[in-house]
Amino acid sequence: MAGGFANTVAMRNRRNRNTQRKKAAAPVTKMGDSVNVPVHTPADSQSGAGLLRLRSYLWRWSANLTSAVNQLRAGLVWLHSYLWQWTAILLIATLVYGFGVSAMYGNQYVAACVLFFVAITVVTARAIAATKKQEQRAGVIVIVVVVAVVISALSLGWVLYTKFQVDNPTNQAIMEITNMDFSAETALPFQPSQPIFINLFFRNGGKMPAHNVIIHSRVTFVAVPNGLEEHEKEIDRLFKQLYKEFNDFLETGRKGFVLSQGERQFTTSFLESPSREDIEAFNERRAAVCVIARVEYDDIHWYERCAYFMIENLAQLKAEERMHWTFCSSHNDSGTHLKF
């Protein structure tokens, strides 16, 4: 029992010595000494809160951006897988090739070649990709490439042939209207309710027969052109009606005729019953007789003519026995177009 009491006293003494040692090591602050104590001001609190909000905003913005990028990537992967199917590839290639044909007939030969190449390359690439599971893949690829090269060569030859035809018109049929004249049935000077007949003479001036020749024409009164813009608008309106006649004719499945090289024919266009107001306007030089015509042949070529006849031309006709026409400012041209 005495030993336990002695041990307790020894432990108490050791704790006292440790406490005294810590006090001796701690700095002693006397009254009047300055002590550096950190002070948090309201500005510091606001700055810290602002940094926390900024960090939170940047984190959310980064997360949203990452999500958007992942969704966009997934969409591109889906689009690629969908467009890479044969149905989509053939549809796209057909459209691109069709644009190339349109460019070719619009005399844009370089653009046509580029579009042809793109269409053929897309189909070739898809065909090569489809050979991954083929055992004799190398042989299949060779056949696909050979077919693509042949189609490319034929397309290029088509472009060159079309360009040659346009650059060398003497090697093809050339339709043109050579003369326009009043028929013997037309009363001169014009009379109300009396038809006005105009014969349009046309010929094939080329070295090849013209196939599927279709000609449509119309006679009407138009206001004497005082301004070029208004005059062109009225002529455009008349030709739109003529284009509708062409469409109606073609929709019935009818075909035109063949005109041999050097052959000359005529067609008659007429105004059945001119009104008294039109005749008075013509005699007062406020209106003119206008004839418009369009010829299509060989499925892709066209020729247009537009001219008008005024009261002073009637005096020249009586004096010289010759027709004098004034050509319109537009629709007196020829060219090629794409025929669907």
pLDDT score at 307: 95
Distance CA 46, CA 52 (A): 10
Lowest mean pLDDT among 153-167, 173-187, 297-311: 153-167
How many independent structural domains does the chain possess? 2
If you count them, how many residues does the chain have?
340
Distance CA 191, CA 175 (A): 34
pLDDT score at 340: 40
Bridge partner residues of 337 (DSSP) = none
pLDDT score at 39: 52
Alpha carbon separation from 299 to 173, 176, 189, 212, 288 (Å, rounded): 12, 16, 40, 7, 33
Q: Which residues contact 73 (CB under 8 A, 6 or more apart)?
A: none
pLDDT score at 64: 82
Whichever domain contains 266, its CATH number is 2.60.40.10
224 with 248, same domain? Answer: yes
201 with 162, same domain? Answer: no
Higher pLDDT, 106 or 148: 148
The answer to whether the CB of 109 falls within 8 A of the CB of 159 is: yes
Q: To the nearest whole number, what is the mean pLDDT of the chain?
A: 82
The answer to whether the CB of 203 falls within 8 A of the CB of 179 is: no
Q: Which residues contact 84 (CB under 8 A, 6 or more apart)?
A: 126, 129
Flag whether 12 is in a domain: no
125 with 234, same domain? Answer: no
pLDDT at 48 over 60: yes
| Structural domain for 118, as ranges | 72-167
Q: Could you say which of 167, 197, 224 is where a domain stops?
A: 167
234 with 101, same domain? Answer: no
pLDDT at 21 over 80: no
138 with 240, same domain? Answer: no
Flag whether 15 is in a domain: no
134 with 188, same domain? Answer: no
pLDDT score at 338: 56
pLDDT at 205 over 60: yes
Strand stretches in the chain, DSSP E: 175-182, 196-204, 210-223, 257-259, 264-271, 287-297, 301-309, 326-327, 334-336
The reply to whether the predicted model has a pTM over 0.85 is: no
The answer to whether the CB of 223 falls within 8 A of the CB of 234 is: yes
Residue type, 180: M
pLDDT score at 9: 55
Distance CA 288, CA 118 (A): 52
Residue type, 109: Y
In the chain, the percentage of residues whose pLDDT exceeds 70 is 79
pLDDT score at 58: 82
